[in-house]
Amino acid sequence: MMDTPGADPALGQRLRETEDRIQDLMIAFYGDWTKMRRSDAAPPSLMPRVSARLNTTSPITETVKHSYEIAAASFNAFLDELRQAIDTDLKKIGEEMEAAGAPWTPGRGVPGWKKQE
């Protein structure tokens, strides 16, 4: 965005908001590593709830089953939010950046090109 002076400043704000939403979704999925490094209490995230069931070689306890059910119940909403942020919002921002003449960035697909007259 810094290299695109013709872009609407609101586009940069929407990009930051979308990045923040994706970061929040990754914390919901993997957990808050910042809190865990400081030994602060953090709510269990989706991945540890599921991996407790997948990584065991002994019979699965009721606690692990319950934890998995919690993760399974919230995964569809998580996936819907992630799809909205990446497939819709981020894609639209990429298209607007392309239209504003922003330099190509990884993940935005192959840039358009026209011979200059």
**pLDDT tens-digit map of 70-103:** 998 999 999 999 999 999 998 898 888 888 888 7
Is residue 94 in a domain? yes
Helix (H) or strand (E) holding 14: helix 9-30
Is residue 68 in a domain? yes
pTM: 0.74
Where in the sequence is the domain holding 76, given as residue range(s)? 9-99
The one-letter amino acid at 23: Q
Tally of domains in the chain = 1
35-71 residue pLDDT tens? 877 888 878 888 888 887 777 788 888 988 898 899 9
Q: Are 105 and 1 within 8 A, CB to CB? A: no
Is residue 26 in a domain? yes
Look-up of token digits 């192959």: 110
Is residue 54 in a domain? yes
Three-state DSSP at 107 gives: coil
